[in-house]
Amino acid sequence: MLERWKETELDWHERVDSLAPRDRALVRQLVSGTLRWQGKIDYYLNFFLRTDSPELPLRVMNILRMAVFQLKFCDRIPDYAVVNESVKLAKTASRSRYSGLVNGVLRNLIRNWDEVSLPRADDNPGYYLAVEYSHPEWLVTRYIRRFGLDFTRSLLEANNTQAPLVLRFDGALAGRTGEIIEFRQKLEGEGLRVEVGKYLPEALVIAGNPPRPSYLPGFEEGLFYIQDEAAMLVAHLAAPNPGDLIFDLCAAPGGKTTHLARLAGKSSFIVASDLSRERIGKLRNNICRLGLANTALVAGDALWPALKEADLAICDVPCTGTGVLRRKPELRWRVNEEDLARLAELQKKILEACADTVAPGGTLIYSTCSLEPEENWGIVSYFLSRRDDFYLEPADRYLEKELVSQQGCLETFPNVHGIDGAFAARLKRKAE
């Protein structure tokens, strides 16, 4: 998993969920923790790897990274066990060629960890925070310029926490109090600690280390969907009406599609589109599990929409995902600064294409799971400057004010709101 996380179609989270229960928690901790702290781990390893040594194979480097994570970021695994298992792994991976190096580096690191000096914060705050909190320096520098040192530090700290499992319990949308109480009792009967979300009644936060979602009571019956509260807020901003024709252009795996279907009711109809047939398959499975009949699926390109005259259209566009780094730690190493300009061009095109599907008087939702202004307000303001048939409808008419930006859009941060980072704008097409 540590070798292949760069493959965008490989979801290591799903691979972890497929493991036996006795292995799942440890493997998730090793993979997510090593990826999360890879920047700081590599900084320390560079001090204990000889500068004249040849570049190590990726598998050997990952053995060292995983060992350092266990030695310095975990407190339940004895040092000798970490070293012995890492040497065994190195022998298997390299036919003993690198086992001596792994043994020597780790033993030296254990003895002399405190001798390594971190970068001086006064000399280069961006580099210091990047190493201390294991984030790319380019991203940290951007945040310092935009938010200042204190906010940046708290954001990086939040990104390094383990995101909780959050369920969207659709029974809460209808206000069926008895069902909510009964469902919570079932979860708590499994030894789980359940808390209601901060902003929405249908959000149930599972604390601790929950089992695989499909093992939870109510999964097969379609009682809930796995979705962070930040993503749920987008559907509430959309505020669909009964009988609406709704078009979701980037729908898979189906969080917003299924939420909109629940909110709008059975008299509505949703056309859900996605470019990937494989992802459409996952969307179909979710729709069937939740028992939703008022949907149709289309495998299609969001740049060439398959519908016109929608009452509500939503485009949850591809983005850098910097709002979900606590949930997907590998993203911090996958994206780079050049991706912002490339994705912004695609986002502009998708938003423009989506706008043409909206009927006069209809609503258009633009959303991302990014914190970057180039992908968020920058796209919306560009769109509004070109389309005088649309205007921004303030989000505080639909959401709590603390969730709304100065421009009037949904904007959340993990260190401020305790949920994923998200952005969404509600755009209204003029009736005339």
Q: Is residue 52 scored above 60 in pLDDT?
A: no
Q: Is residue 397 scored above 80 in pLDDT?
A: yes
For residues 43 and 84, the answer to whether their CB atoms sit within 8 Å is no
As to burial, measured by CB atoms within 10 angstroms (0-12 exposed, 13-18 middle, 19+ buried), residue 76 is exposed
Mean pLDDT, to the nearest integer, of 271-296?
91
pLDDT tens-digit readout, 145-158 = 999 999 999 999 99
Please give the pLDDT value at position 65: 96
Over pLDDT 70: what percentage of the chain? 97
**Domains of the chain and CATH, by start:** 12-115 (1.10.940.10), 125-159 (no CATH), 165-226 (3.30.70.1170), 229-429 (3.40.50.150)
Distances (CA, A) of 128 to 28, 35, 122: 28, 19, 9
Q: What are phi and psi of 133, to 5 degrees?
A: -110, 10
User: Could you tell me how far CA 319 lies from the centroid of its own chain?
Assistant: 11
Distances (CA, A) of 293 to 138, 215, 267, 268, 290: 46, 25, 10, 10, 9
Active site residue 369: yes
pTM of this prediction?
A: 0.93
pLDDT tens-digit readout, 65-89 = 999 999 999 988 899 999 999 999 9
Per DSSP bridges, beta strands 310-316 and 245-248 are: parallel
Helix 58-73 with 21-36: angle, nearest 10 deg: 100
pLDDT tens-digit readout, 310-323 = 999 999 999 999 99
Strand partners, 313: 247, 364
For residues 320 and 244, the answer to whether their CB atoms sit within 8 Å is no
Question: Average per-residue pLDDT in the chain?
Answer: 92
SS3 299: strand
Please give the pLDDT value at position 8: 57
Please give the pLDDT value at position 307: 85
Q: 15 falls in which pLDDT band (50, 70, 90)?
A: confident
Three state DSSP letters for 193-236: EEEECCCCCCEEEEECCCCCHHHCCCCCCCCEEECCHHHHHHHH
Mean pLDDT, to the nearest integer, of 291-306?
91
pLDDT tens-digit readout, 363-394 = 999 999 999 999 999 999 999 999 999 999 99
Q: Which of 315, 354, 369, 409 is catalytic?
A: 369
Q: Is residue 7 scored above 80 in pLDDT?
A: no
